[in-house]
Structure 1
Amino acid sequence: MSVQVTVIVIICFFLLIKPFRYLLNLFLNENESSLYKLAHLIGLTVLSIFLLVVMNDLTPEPTNLYQSDKASLFLVGPLLMILTLYVTCLFLYLKNVVHYIQKFKTLIIVAQILLATVSIVKMGSNSSLLFKRLGGGPESPGSIIYEMPWINPYTTGLVFNGYLLVFLTSITFFCAYMLNSKKSIK
């Protein structure tokens, strides 16, 4: 990665420390209202979706060989941080409210496994189409991205997309549900 990308990531890290602490304390505090936590969780979801859309818009098309737009790389660090915070807050929220939907146990487990599987399949099919358009992966000599790292301006939209958000959400929901189910058995 270039120096500019590293500097942006470090700046974002220091700018996001205070909001991270605030949100984690909020979701760990059992005295706070579930509705208040839900509002913050919806805000994190909207922010995650917004960053994913912006990243996909900034990802250059493989047909434009001379476009050296690295703007999407600047969002990788902040997006990873926001997604980590989103998944953590979602887990903390769900583990406290998932017991309300115990009667739909089988449906929830099947739906979460199905969502995770579909998102992985779609990410796989999208990656094969993209690498076909690029002429191969970074190890292929005839590829547009030959000798580039796997996360490069052409592949950021492939790695960070809506399917990743669906996958992370479904896995987090599944884990929170299974953790809560094990607690209720004991």
Structure 2
Amino acid sequence: MKILSLICSLCFSVSVYASGFLPIANIVKISGHAFIDKEEIAIGAEVAKGMTITIPKKGDYIVVKFQNGHMVRFTEATVMIEELTEKTSLINLLKGQVHTLVKKLTPDETFKIKTKYASFGVRGTKFGVSLDEEKKKAYLCVCEGVVQATKGKLSANVSKNEDLWVGAQTKKLEVKPSTEQMFNMTNQVIEELERL
């Protein structure tokens, strides 16, 4: 009976793998409280397309690890997972902050953070994006690599040690050197992700 049960388990595991049902990303760390579609979540929970993740309290965060090694930290955030496959990640940041450690992508892979003000696409980099509700702007700080910022027909590449503010009234994407304070704050979170 035990052997039959083991064979059934193995067959199920193989069929799940073959049909693509293995999770693309899971939560590996939680500080405070976080919710997926209003239900409190625990370490190990799967992140999938269509989910809305909410981390409501100041200072609380979660870390999501992808099968391919990407790491993302959401802090005091509300995010919608618009697309999540082995090749495509599209995360809509509605509120708060996201810090990302994205491994080098192949030509057919995409990883993008979207906000109501701009989208940020990467090929493999370390960066942070936050929404400033008072300024009504999105902020991007790049710690390594290059991030392509897009707002309508406007587009700009933001490199290491550079940042960018984008708001609803932005007519030109102005990339500037990031301040030491902003770079260090962003990079500190990225370094924490690298240690996980």
Query: TM-score when scaled to structure 2?
Result: 0.24
Higher share of residues assigned helix: 1
Higher RCO by CA contacts (8 Å cutoff, separation 6 or greater): 1
Higher share of residues assigned strand: 2
